[in-house]
Chains A and B, each alone.
Chain A
Amino acid sequence: MRSRLRSLIRSMPLRLALGLVAVFAMVSLLSFGASYVVTQRSMEQQMREDLVQDIAGFRAAPSAAAVATLVRAEAESTDPERMVLSYFAPNGRHFGNAAIARDNEGYHVVSVAQNGKTVEGRYLALTTGLYGGQLTIARSRSEIEALRRVFLNILVISLVPTFLIALSGAVYIASRSAGHVDRVGRTLDRLTTGNLGARVQPERGWSDDLAQIGAKIDQMAEAQEASVASLRQVSSDIAHDLKTPIQRVAVHLDELSRNPSLDGEARDLVDRATDELDRIVAVFHALLQIAQIEAGTPRSQFAPVDLAALIETCVELYEPMAGETGHQLVAVPREGPVAMVEGERNLLLQLLANLVENALRHTPDGTRIAIALRQEGGRVVLDVADDGPGIPEEERDKVLRRLYRLDRSRGTPGSGLGLNFVSVVARLHEARLVLGDAAPGLRVSLVFPAGATRDKPAETAEAR
């Protein structure tokens, strides 16, 4: 959930949408701010002009007494909260609805008192000398201040919903396209892990670019599937074409061996030919199997495999054989939860069998072979270690190659395909194959991918 949220936030459409919302918001705020400033300025200008007009009205009076009368009359009907009228007559008397105290800072601060009450507020004032007295008219700026509130209200009412709509639209589109991207990703995952039938299948309503990419991927997958299918067909044709004569030779050899007129030497030859044929078949089978796994044996056969039970089966299977050659084959008990990995049981068991047979074949009598299961940084690791002669470090990569054999192993039976099979099966399971030093001896480790493990279901049992 968390990672999904993170990928959503990082997704292109959401980023684009958020960017657009931000730009849009900025432009709106700027134009809003600009029109506010313009309106406010013009209102202030208007107020100034009004004040000049007011003053001019009083200036029209013929004398100081007339001005005083006018001021008094006007002040009667004027709320000082809206407009302040104040006239200091030449004789020092004050007329008006409020007194204006003037300090060093000029007309900014206008304090009005009437009946001992102080009126707070911001005013715009104009003062002029008139007939030896001083006339001051101040208009309240409350209208301009109200304008700011109006603008803020408009901002909230119009802009916020727009933002919200744009934002949720962006999230919706982003999550939708994130879903599409996810589908493309999952299809690619399945394709790379051998499920060549996987397709993106972009639907109507996908964005054009994603739909195009999806269609191209499908095209590619189709081509790959076709080529793998033809490769399989070729290998199955080759198998059939070779198997038929091999089968016939086997039949003839069997018939020959049943011939009672064969003497000892001839019978010996037939037996040797039969053995050689068995070897041919074994190598052929191994090659065919490796080729088929490499061609992408569908991972759809994968199911949870209990590795501990697999080890148990393998040890139990080979223990008598190991005993005959004086080898010691043991499963190292493991602490912690039982490891289940996604895989193909028979291939994994065959892998394990190959490793054990390798160890039995290439180590002297008395060697101890231990199969262990451990956890390493959240990954399950399967080790097959012996205390035999080991493999020199520079040879370790080479032994994984097809048909490669160490010089000292040339005399021992084996096809040279065992470890190659192991590495191919490991790759199919996305496991890393590491040949290491068991000091002394060889340790083959199979490191399963972190996501491959599962908790063991309650009633899975491998042993019979």
Chain B
Amino acid sequence: MKLLVVEDDETTGNYIARGLREEGQSVDLVADGREGLIQATTGNYDVMIVDRMLPEIDGMTLVKTLRGAGNRTPVLFLTSLGSVDDRIDGLNAGGDDYLVKPFAFGELSARVAALSRRPQAMERESVLRAGDLEMDLIARRVTRAGQTLDLLPREFSILEHLLRRKGRVQTRTMLLEAIWDISFDPGTNVVETHISRLRAKVDRPFDTELIKTVRGAGYRIDA
């Protein structure tokens, strides 16, 4: 994947670039809005990570300009504020996702991965599979190793969400947004408790662990 990072703070910019490169991505890092705009229009990027407050041209204007020129590259905004207004402004300007500083690298990485695969058409599969687990979306039935699992509707949604994104980490906040439509961080371990309930049904009675915890990031079902 080819990524562009537009971040004026050197420490943060280098940290992001280094982290993403360690994951095997190709990263260009620029420190101001004008440079960012030039890079974005000349390079062919899969995802752009743009700080909202930038010297020369601010992040919002940068993305608006790109969108105006027909550039549809997914944009992840980095922001200091993170209020409802701020989020809506960012999304209206053409941003695709939003990350409030300070963030854990795992969160950024997971969101970049999600953005890069965004245009995927929602596969119209009726059965999702992972290892010996099968989810029948029509009958809304889940079996593992031939055993039927009795899941609550919300547990079913979480499992379905992870299964549809096999191999990709889903962070707590991503799950909160996707499953409960919550854009704030409840601050306590609500997601953990839901996952542990889900695990008690999906993993505990079996030998292999399907839902993996990725330290400092979130959860994943391996492909």
Binding site for B on A (CB under 8 A): 236, 239-240, 242-244, 246-252, 254-255, 277, 281-282, 285, 288-289, 292, 297-298, 301, 313, 316-318, 320-321, 323-324, 344-347, 349-350, 353, 357, 463-464
Contact = CB atoms under 8 A, between A and B. Distances in A.
Nearest to A239: B80
Closest 9 CB pairs of A and B: A243-B80, A250-B102, A320-B193, A247-B102, A251-B15, A240-B80, A248-B11, A321-B193, A247-B101
15 contacts: A249-B102, A251-B102, A288-B83, A298-B85, A301-B84, A316-B154, A320-B190, A321-B188, A346-B84, A346-B182, A346-B183, A346-B184, A350-B186, A464-B179, A464-B181
A249 B11 CA distance: 9
B203 to A, nearest CB: 16
A297 B11 CA distance: 32
A254 B104 contact: yes
A254 B105 contact: yes
Indicate the member of A240, A292, A320, A345 with the most B CB atoms within 10 Å: A320
A263 to B, nearest CB: 19
A292 B190 CA distance: 26
Given A292-B83, A353-B186, 19 more contacts: A236-B80, A240-B80, A244-B101, A246-B101, A250-B104, A251-B15, A254-B15, A254-B104, A281-B102, A285-B185, A288-B82, A297-B83, A320-B190, A321-B188, A346-B84, A346-B183, A349-B184, A350-B186, A353-B184
B193 A297 contact: no
B190 to A, nearest CB: 5
Given A321-B189, A353-B186, A464-B179, A244 B80 contact: yes
Contact of A357 (B12, B81, B102, B186): B186
A317 B158 CA distance: 12
B83 A324 contact: no
Contacts of A252: 11
A302 to B, nearest CB: 11
Interface string B192-206: 011011000000000
Interface string B95-120: 00000111111000000000000000
B154 A289 contact: no
A344 B87 CA distance: 14
B101 A350 contact: no
B1 interface: no
B157 A244 contact: no
A277 B104 CA distance: 12
A247 B84 contact: no
Contacts of A288: 81-83
A344 B80 CA distance: 22
A282 B101 contact: no
A243 B102 contact: yes
B9 A464 contact: no
A301 B9 contact: no
B53 interface: yes
Given A248-B9, A254-B104, A321-B189, A236 B184 contact: no
Contacts of A243: 80, 101-102
A320 B84 contact: no
Given A239-B81, A301-B85, A244 B188 contact: no
Contact of A247 (B12, B186, B194): B12
A36 to B, nearest CB: 75
B30 to A, nearest CB: 17
Contacts of B53: 240
Given A247-B101, A346-B183, A320 B12 contact: no
B131 to A, nearest CB: 25
Nearest to B152: A316
A320 B9 contact: no
Nearest to A249: B102
